[in-house]
Amino acid sequence: MNSPAQYLPYPALDLILERVIDIPPELVWRAWTDPAMITQWFTPVPWKTIACEIDLRPGGTFKTEMQSPEGQSFANVGCYLEIIENKKLVWTSAVGPGFRPLVSAPSLAMTAIILLELHGKGTKYTAIALHKDEQDRKAHEAMGFHEGWGKALDQLVAAVKRI
Amino acid sequence: MNSPAQYLPYPALDLILERVIDIPPELVWRAWTDPAMITQWFTPVPWKTIACEIDLRPGGTFKTEMQSPEGQSFANVGCYLEIIENKKLVWTSAVGPGFRPLVSAPSLAMTAIILLELHGKGTKYTAIALHKDEQDRKAHEAMGFHEGWGKALDQLVAAVKRI
């Protein structure tokens, strides 16, 4: 098999959050792959992630249930696509568990690429959201991608420091 | 990472072709992963596969161009999802190259799982087509899945024997 694909930036369709954080890749990986960690940081407060299911293998389920401040809950289900421990995690909401095509894709179907790179004693963290077209990228940006994913990352770091 | 996912049969949504063939898994693998082989067997005659592009890694492009007996051509593009050399190949038309969500999924979006198992000096060959719902499975069956994929497999075996 060839080496893993490199990400080629495509600014018109993608959103990127890049930051150096002061926890090592192994702990960022744990925060992303342990359901008991995900519920602590995945959704910017006052939203909550109240449930999480993870089957960490290609095609395995990644499911989260979010709750709005008003108490309404929303389930999101997708699957993992690529898993390189402590380095790269790719998941999507565009295909369902077991790689099965979806009956109806969510309105903002997205593939997320999380890249981790050792940086001093910390991590260079890169989160990329891939969209099908420019309209989806703009809609996601307008929903507050950078603020939301940035706040979630602050929560991730805080959750790891509580371990 | 956990071990690869096992396929759990779901007859209402899936179509399966299972057969023992008298060529070894390594050569079946080559027939599936070398563009110069694909063009020799992929489409039951009198249809032809006139071009093929393969980037054999998760998220890599799998593109074929088919030609009808009347000379009309049709391009199909998708990506690889799981690659275990000589054993398991998974690709889909439900997500595009680089795992990007598709602007418009094909009407019969499908994920294909090809399983190869050594059987004597030959191969136990299992090809599974996963659909989003029963309607798609029935449409694909009515289009002649079993005859078409069976005929293509005969052509694959013949092409390998010409190497």
How much is the pTM?
Answer: 0.94
Interface check for A114 against chain B (CB to CB < 8 A): the answer is no
Nearest CA of chain A to the CA of B91: how many Å?
A: 9
In Å, how far from its chain's centre is CA A28? 12
pLDDT given for residue A18 in this prediction: 97
Q: Which of B81, B99, B132 sits opposite A59 (nearest CB)?
A: B81
The token pair that represents A63 in the structure block: 């499911």
Nearest to A99 by CA among B8, B42, B2, B137: B8
Taking only the tens place, the pLDDT of each residue in B94-142 is 999 999 999 888 889 999 999 999 999 999 999 999 999 999 999 999 9
pLDDT given for residue B81 in this prediction: 97
Nearest to B27 by CA among B41, B15, B13: B41
Nearest CA of chain A to the CA of B100: how many Å?
A: 6
Question: What does the alpha-carbon distance between residue A120 and residue A137 come to, in Å, rounded to a whole number?
Answer: 33
pLDDT given for residue A9 in this prediction: 85
Taking only the tens place, the pLDDT of each residue in A5-55 is 888 889 999 999 999 999 999 999 999 999 999 999 999 999 999 999 999
- To the nearest 10°, report the CA torsion of A31, A33, A35, A38: 40
pLDDT given for residue B1 in this prediction: 58
ipTM of the complex: 0.92
pLDDT given for residue B4 in this prediction: 85
CATH of residue B131's domain is 3.30.530.20
Nearest to A30 by CA among A69, A82, A86, A79: A86
Residue B9 counted as domain residue: no
Interface check for B90 against chain A (CB to CB < 8 A): the answer is yes
pLDDT given for residue B84 in this prediction: 96
- Looking at chain A, which residue has its C-alpha nearest residue B59? A5
A101:B130 CB<8 A: yes
- Backbone phi and psi for residue B64, each to the nearest 5 degrees, phi listed first: -130, 150
Place A131 in a pLDDT band, splitting at 50, 70 and 90.
Answer: very high
More confident residue, B47 or A106: B47
Interface check for A2 against chain B (CB to CB < 8 A): the answer is yes
Taking only the tens place, the pLDDT of each residue in B37-46 is 999 999 999 9
- Number of domains chain B contains: 1
Altogether, the residues listed in chain A come to a count of 163
Question: What does the alpha-carbon distance between residue A142 and residue A43 come to, in Å, rounded to a whole number?
Answer: 17
Taking only the tens place, the pLDDT of each residue in B1-46 is 578 888 888 999 999 999 999 999 999 999 999 999 999 999 999 9
Taking only the tens place, the pLDDT of each residue in B47-99 is 999 999 999 999 999 999 999 999 999 999 999 999 999 999 999 999 999 99
Mean pLDDT within A53-63: 97
pLDDT given for residue A107 in this prediction: 83
Check: CB of residue A49 under 8 Å from CB of residue A68: no
Nearest CA of chain A to the CA of B70: how many Å?
A: 31
Peptide bond before residue B46 is cis, with ω within 30 degrees of 0: yes
Interface check for A119 against chain B (CB to CB < 8 A): the answer is no
Percentage of chain A modeled with pLDDT above 70: 99
Residue B3 counted as domain residue: no
Residue A27 counted as domain residue: yes
Residue B31 counted as domain residue: yes
B57:A5 CB<8 A: yes
Residue with tokens 């002649």: B144
Place A1 in a pLDDT band, splitting at 50, 70 and 90.
Answer: low
Place A70 in a pLDDT band, splitting at 50, 70 and 90.
Answer: very high
pLDDT given for residue B105 in this prediction: 80
Residue A7 counted as domain residue: no
Percentage of chain A modeled with pLDDT above 90: 91
Interface check for B82 against chain A (CB to CB < 8 A): the answer is yes
Q: A142: domain range?
A: 17-161
Q: Which of A58, A102, A132 sits opposite B103 (nearest CB)?
A: A132
* Chain A residues close to B132, C-beta within 8 Å: 100-103
Question: What does the alpha-carbon distance between residue B20 and residue A117 come to, in Å, rounded to a whole number?
Answer: 45
* Chain B residues close to A99, C-beta within 8 Å: 81-82, 90, 92, 94, 111, 113, 130
B92:A82 CB<8 A: no
Residue A5 counted as domain residue: no
Question: Which of A92, A100, A130, A131 should one mutate to test binding to chain B, selecting the residue with the greatest count of B CBs within 10 A?
Answer: A100
Q: Which of A1, A8, A101 sits opposite B132 (nearest CB)?
A: A101
pLDDT given for residue A54 in this prediction: 98
Check: CB of residue B102 under 8 Å from CB of residue B95: yes
Residue B1 counted as domain residue: no
pLDDT given for residue A105 in this prediction: 80
Residue A1 counted as domain residue: no
